[in-house]
């Protein structure tokens, strides 16, 4: 049976692109958070000047290429780079990497490459569509801000799997079996295997080459052909793992790296899933604490009683899904996605209240619209990006998975115990990748980046998607890690409302100023 997606797929998807973390594309009309590119910026330069550094002979054609920038929007330039399909065998094919650049408006330091997260988030769209949200004005003045789509993503050589109708079935289909039963596991596993087969058929050899190590090697290539001797980089969420991986591979090329909403590179898939379940459980409690103090809250009583009510609501739609006006169904998996989506930002909490109220009255459409925003689905049923496909393909290569159903059940039980309200819908993540066409035996490990220049790691105490303890862990692991803590709610901290975080990040990227101690913003 095709088109059934494990709830664990959503658990693993939590470190989404930062543009979704601000409340999401589906909520953008309500929140008006997408930045507009100002018209006063200077035009893009026509070509780049590579560094000309000495590399292996089979890599010279890649490292010596000259980027040709073409105007592609108001004060933006776009270019396409080529990289080896397989970095271990550079002469066996190549891929394309899409870039967009906003040229520095003042005294230029160099290039600042930006990754919004995911894996699967489009850095190209992040800069092209929301430059002002991606980076603050001081960085726009001093840096050429460069967005790029990593291998497998978006406008670069990309993973492709399903058409729109198949994706609907895969993301929103209902599993006709009891959650966690042998039948349910067989159906979910079969759907995941079918999805992988479709990806292999449509994507080809690229599907086995979209791991983060390969993307980090692409990042070094982009650094060199942009003309920067060292990498200056701002990575959000999954982008912190990409940046840390780069630092481990090329510590001598580290310039000024900021990693905001950090991922602990030593955490296994199961540890990531459980930590995220707990993170979103805590974010849900924070939302309810705030909601219950207002006049328009759909809940009453205590936070604990309200959490129980949310749990009953999830169990209810798991047993009897709601039907939307377009015929799609809202089961527990889709409702969980709809709940999680606004939890990325406290600014979205009022809309979460509206969604809860609508579902309580048996209405499915608002929940579907929130889930659509998270999944990148447009109102007409098309999908605006390949984030689902690329997310799965990258994660299946970056983590190790196992097929023992008994172990899966033990992990699922531990997650449910740690996060009693939403944790029961986060389990069985191994099913997503255990039958993937390209198997990985990679074990997660600490990253130290010995010899690298100082690296700024930013963590938010109430971050549901990348819990604060991950930022602490990464800063501790990195030999030159420096922690900046933000005491607040939401996913990532830079370029939001906290001047303490903004000042620390911008002073580091512009002046190289390293905090003497954690400013505890």
Extended beta strands in 373-454, E state:
none
- Type and span of the H or E element at 406: helix 405-418
Strand partners, 338: none
Q: Are 18 and 236 in contact (CB under 8 A)?
A: yes
pLDDT value of position 190: 96
Of 40 and 43, the structure prediction assigns the larger pLDDT to: 43
Span 478-493, pLDDT tens digits: 999 999 999 999 999 9
pLDDT value of position 489: 93
Residue 502 to residue 133: CA distance in whole angstroms: 12
Helix (H, G, I), strand (E, B) or coil at 461: strand
pLDDT value of position 90: 96
Q: Over 80: is that where the pLDDT of 407 sits?
A: yes
Per DSSP bridges, beta strands 254-260 and 481-489 are unpaired
Cα distances from 227 to residues 78, 113, 156, in angstroms, run 16, 12, 21
Q: Over 90: is that where the pLDDT of 14 sits?
A: no
Residue 52 to residue 391: CA distance in whole angstroms: 34
**Catalytic residue IDs:** 237, 463, 491
pLDDT tier for residue 18 given thresholds of 50, 70 and 90: very low
pLDDT tier for residue 25 given thresholds of 50, 70 and 90: very low
pLDDT tier for residue 442 given thresholds of 50, 70 and 90: confident
Secondary structure of 136-193 in HEC code, one letter for each residue = CHHHHHHEEEEEECCCECCCCCECCCCCHHHHHHHHHCCCCCCCCCHHHHHHHHHHHH
Interval 245-262 mean pLDDT: 98
Residue 236 to residue 18: CA distance in whole angstroms: 7
Residue among 398, 397, 502 nearest 447 (CA): 398
Span 113-131, pLDDT tens digits: 999 999 999 999 999 999 9
Span 202-250, pLDDT tens digits: 999 999 999 999 999 999 999 999 999 999 999 999 999 999 999 999 9
Residue among 389, 390, 372 nearest 381 (CA): 372
pLDDT value of position 160: 98
Q: Over 90: is that where the pLDDT of 420 sits?
A: yes
Span 152-199, pLDDT tens digits: 999 999 999 999 999 999 999 999 999 999 999 999 999 999 999 999
Per-domain boundaries in the chain: 1-34+161-207+267-385+402-435, 59-157+210-266+445-458+466-511
Query: Environment class of residue 503 by beta-carbon count within 10 Å: exposed (0-12), middle (13-18) or buried (19+)?
Result: middle
Per DSSP bridges, beta strands 455-462 and 231-236 are unpaired
The CATH number of the domain covering residues in 59-157+210-266+445-458+466-511: 3.40.50.1820
What is the residue whose two structure tokens read 């900021």?
258
Residue 136 to residue 141: CA distance in whole angstroms: 9
Q: Are 495 and 502 in contact (CB under 8 A)?
A: yes
Span 52-86, pLDDT tens digits: 999 999 999 999 999 999 999 889 999 999 999 99
Q: Over 80: is that where the pLDDT of 455 sits?
A: yes
pLDDT value of position 43: 46
DSSP 433: T
Interval 15-36 mean pLDDT: 36
- Type and span of the H or E element at 469: helix 468-477
Q: Over 90: is that where the pLDDT of 281 sits?
A: yes
Of 26 and 91, the structure prediction assigns the larger pLDDT to: 91
For the entire predicted model, the pTM comes to 0.92
Other Cβ atoms closer than 10 A to 331: 22
Q: Over 60: is that where the pLDDT of 133 sits?
A: yes
Q: Over 50: is that where the pLDDT of 300 sits?
A: yes
pLDDT value of position 73: 83
- Does the bond joining 295 to the residue before it have cis omega, within 30 degrees of 0? no
Q: Is 393 left (phi over 0), alpha (psi -120 to 50) or beta?
A: alpha
Q: Over 90: is that where the pLDDT of 19 sits?
A: no
Q: Is 105 left (phi over 0), alpha (psi -120 to 50) or beta?
A: alpha
pLDDT tier for residue 33 given thresholds of 50, 70 and 90: very low
To the nearest 5 percent, what fractions of the chain are helix, strand and coil?
45, 15, 40
Interval 21-37 mean pLDDT: 33
Query: Environment class of residue 304 by beta-carbon count within 10 Å: exposed (0-12), middle (13-18) or buried (19+)?
Result: exposed
pLDDT value of position 10: 34
Of 3 and 431, the structure prediction assigns the larger pLDDT to: 431
């Amino acid at each position: 049976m095709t088109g059934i997606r494990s709830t664990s797929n959503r658990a693993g998807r939590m470190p989404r692109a930062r543009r979704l973390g601000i409340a999401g594309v589906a909520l953008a009309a309500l929140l008006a958070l997408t930045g507009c590119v100002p018209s006063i910026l200077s035009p893009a330069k026509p070509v780049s000047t590579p560094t000309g550094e000495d590399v292996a002979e089979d890599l010279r054609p890649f490292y010596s290429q000259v980027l040709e920038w073409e105007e592609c929007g108001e004060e933006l330039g776009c270019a396409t780079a080529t990289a080896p399909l397989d970095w271990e065998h550079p002469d066996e094919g190549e891929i394309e990497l899409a870039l967009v650049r906003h040229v520095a408006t003042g005294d230029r330091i160099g290039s600042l490459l930006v990754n919004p997260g995911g894996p699967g988030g489009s850095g190209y769209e992040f800069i092209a569509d929301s430059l002002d949200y991606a980076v603050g004005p001081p960085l726009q003045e001093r840096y050429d801000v460069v967005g790029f789509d990593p291998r497998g993503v978006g406008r670069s050589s990309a993973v492709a799997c399903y058409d729109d109708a198949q994706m609907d079935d895969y993301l929103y289909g209902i599993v006709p079996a009891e959650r966690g039963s042998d039948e349910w596991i067989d159906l979910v596993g079969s759907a995941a295997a079918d999805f992988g087969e479709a990806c292999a058929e449509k994507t080809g050899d690229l599907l086995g080459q979209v791991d983060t190590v390969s993307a980090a090697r692409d990042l070094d290539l982009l650094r060199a052909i942009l003309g920067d001797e060292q990498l200056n980089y701002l990575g959000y969420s999954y982008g912190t793992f990409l940046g840390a991986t780069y630092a481990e591979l090329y510590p001598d090329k580290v310039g000024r790296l900021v990693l905001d909403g950090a991922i602990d590179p030593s955490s296994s898939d199961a540890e990531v899933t459980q930590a995220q379940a707990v993170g979103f459980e805590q974010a849900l409690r924070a939302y309810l604490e705030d909601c219950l103090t207002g006049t328009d809250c759909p809940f009453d009583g205590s936070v604990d009683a309200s959490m129980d009510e949310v749990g009953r609501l999830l169990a209810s739609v798991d047993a009897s899904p709601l039907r939307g006006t377009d015929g799609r169904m809202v089961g527990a998996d889709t409702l969980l996605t709809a709940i999680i989506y606004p939890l990325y930002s406290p600014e979205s909490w009022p809309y979460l209240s509206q969604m809860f109220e609508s579902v309580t009255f048996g209405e499915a459409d608002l929940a579907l619209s929130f889930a659509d925003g998270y999944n990148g689905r447009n109102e007409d049923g098309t999908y605006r990006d390949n984030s689902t496909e690329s997310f799965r393909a990258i994660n299946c290569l970056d983590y190790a998975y196992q097929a023992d159903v008994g172990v899966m059940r033990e992990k699922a039980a531990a997650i449910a115990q740690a996060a009693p309200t939403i944790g029961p819908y986060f389990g069985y993540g191994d099913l997503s990748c255990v039958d993937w066409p390209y198997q990985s035996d990679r074990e997660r490990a600490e990253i130290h980046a010995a010899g690298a220049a100082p690296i700024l790691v930013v963590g938010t105490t109430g971050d549901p998607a990348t819990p604060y303890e991950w930022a602490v862990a990464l800063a501790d692991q990195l030999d030159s890690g420096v922690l900046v803590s933000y005491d607040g709610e939401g996913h990532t901290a830079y370029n939001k409302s906290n001047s303490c975080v903004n000042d620390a990040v911008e002073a580091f990227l512009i002046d190289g100023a390293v905090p003497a101690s954690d400013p505890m913003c």
